[in-house]
Amino acid sequence: MTSEPVSVPAHGVALAGDLTMPSAASGVVLFAHGSGSSRHSPRNRAVAAELNRVGLGTLLLDLLSEREELDDAVSGRHRFDIGLLARRLVDTVDWLERQPGTGTLPVGLFGASTGAAAALVAAAERPGRVYAVVSRGGRPDLAGDRLPEVAAPVLLIVGGADELVLGLNEEAAERLPAPHRIHVVPGATHLFPEPGALEEVAGAAGDWFREWLRTGADEA
């Protein structure tokens, strides 16, 4: 397994990321962090480690530049700019296609919170490259009118005690034309801090990506 820091060019800014690739990876999963988070999120890193264990590459990425992160910490204006975040995910999907180690691999997107909406918009923009999407405690509703354009299969993981977000996920799911499923983690709250909750998230995400990215590999 190899792991390296990367810098991804995206419309005039450089996005910092951590790319980890197991030997003979069957796909690569790009992470879109949620509002106020970063590639250092311990929750996303825990999920990424499980995906690496089952043979999937991962790219944990900061969707904002350092300057934007500082501004966002004060204003909060970037974290809900779904269009901006989605454009940067699309740029990164294109960047992965140009790299020798990932260019032929099917891509999955893992989004948390507002990053889930950005992931769904990016999936709609790149239907030929994105083969699966997983949302963890996400806000897929913020993808709005792009939801009916998503062709990739979508797994929506929500805590059973996160009632508001669960309702928003149920409403968004009704607008998804592709195969989709809501996975409810019983008793879990928004950040899945309960014992065993995050492990269930990682296991469900791994199963979903392995199933659908295999389809992408077969089509390649």
Number of structural domains found in the chain: 1
CA distances from 104 to 27, 100, 217 (A): 9, 8, 8
72 against 129, higher pLDDT: 129
**Edge-to-edge strands of the sheet including 13-21?**
2-10, 13-21, 57-61, 28-32, 107-112, 130-136, 154-159, 180-185
CA distances from 45 to 38, 41, 52, 198, 199 (A): 10, 6, 10, 11, 12
Where residue 67 sits, what CATH number does that domain have?
A: 3.40.50.1820
At residue 185, the pLDDT reads 98
Q: Using the predicted structure, report yes or no on whether residue 201 has a pLDDT greater than 90.
A: yes
Q: How confident is the model at residue 41 (pLDDT cuts 50, 70, 90)?
A: confident
| Cα 203 versus chain centre, distance | 15
Task: Tell me which amino acid residue 92 is.
Answer: T
Three-state SS sequence of 50-88: HHHHCCCEEEEECCCCHHHHHHHHHHCCCCCCHHHHHHH
At residue 23, the pLDDT reads 93
Mean pLDDT (the chain, rounded): 92
Distance CA 117, CA 34 (A): 10
Task: Tell me which amino acid residue 24 is.
Answer: A
Tokens, residue 133: 């999407």
At residue 39, the pLDDT reads 84
As a whole-number percent, the residues of the chain with pLDDT over 70 amount to: 90
Q: Which domain holds residue 146?
A: 2-219
Distance CA 65, CA 84 (A): 12
Q: Using the predicted structure, report yes or no on whether residue 154 has a pLDDT greater than 90.
A: yes
At residue 29, the pLDDT reads 98
Q: Using the predicted structure, report yes or no on whether residue 107 has a pLDDT greater than 60.
A: yes
C-alpha angle 130/125/140, rounded to 5°? Answer: 80
Closest to 31 in 3D by CA, of 11, 46, 53, 12: 46
